[in-house]
Structure 1
Amino acid sequence: MAKKRKKGKLWQQLGLPQIILAALVVAFVGLLLVRLLGEQPRVDVADTAAVRQESIQRQHHAFITSLAPEAQRLQLTYHILPSVTIAQAILESDWGTSQLASKYHNLFGVKGTDPTTSQLLSTKEYRNGQWIEIRARFQVYSSDTAALAAHAKLLARGTTWNTQQYQHVVAATNYKAAATALQQAGYATDPTYAEKLINVIETYKLNQYDQ
């Protein structure tokens, strides 16, 4: 009587071709599952950052071009350089994204006194060598165009207590002189205000809008 062969392990029972075939089947099933379940896309951090930066640049360009035509039109009447007007709007409103700008169309941080036409908000001011947070009333405008017009009139006509306050801004023939005059006239408490304006103008080539 012939002896029964002991059962060995699977790889011992199968010949080499069968082992290869089994491996191919497993691989095929694995690939099929991947296709059916969907392969998770790889997130490229560099690509994501590039897309985000491109989106920000488009938003900045859109903000500039939305203000430039009106700033140029106002220059003909009030003689305020558009580059300075746009740069101030960028700094004061954080590219139109601040609550004051997005909700109340106040692009230039202009304060108000009448409760019916102003809003009480928190702001930061530079006093005695340090930044402090205060509550102050800011003017509310019906539109960005209205804010641009009010800004031009303020610089051209001065304040109620000093009609000549911004005369050197109006008289300036280049953005550097105008930015320096704004700081000297006390438009903002920031000791580096003129420097920041000039940097924004040169970074975004805003002087191309000056006539």
Structure 2
Amino acid sequence: MNTPLITALTFSAALLCTLSVRAAEQPTVSGDDMAYMKQQQRDLALFKSQLQGMNITLPDAQQGRVAQMQNEISASQAQDNSASRTTPKAVYFVSLSIPEEGLLPMLQDARHFGIPATLRGLLDNDFRKTASAIFELSKKDKQAGVQIDPTLYEQYGIKAVPALVVTCGNRFDVLYGSLPVKQALEEVKQRGDCATTAVQILKDAEGGR
């Protein structure tokens, strides 16, 4: 959608909002003013209906600026998240390249144990492809969700997926492979440095049933 259309739509909506407030504050509104407001409402409704379903391609310069802004926002969010977040008890690392029939059970399994599923980045470095893939997953499972955080991959040195990380202070355990989450937690419980955390996650999941 190009800038003039966005500006026109925003301006029209703001104008209608202003007029509505003024009409509410003033006990008397002239017939001409009321007719004008109604006409503006009809024009805005028509304008919005004309925009629906339209696929307007931005000029290359504008498209490049949009992509640059998206990258800047993503980088800023990653820095903010890294600075302010607390260390999670566990993180489940996945990829949208995993076939859907395998990925959906993984997401459900991680969700059962309250463990966030995390991607390294965008699918093919394309925001629309990523959003489309997540939307397709949500059609099969409305609660399906993933977060994108490349800093966690670097922090725990994750080189392959799926992988489960269980943390405890400055230490952590990493298990690679498509083991059920419960089995992976049991492995940490038996032999990991962060056995106490694994026990707590298992206990919390059992209590939430």
Q: Determine if the TM-score, normalized by the shorter chain, exceeds 0.5.
A: no
What TM-score do you get using the length of structure 2 for normalisation? 0.28
Q: Which one has a larger percent helix, Structure 1 or Structure 2?
A: 2
What is the TM-score normalised by the length of structure 1?
0.27
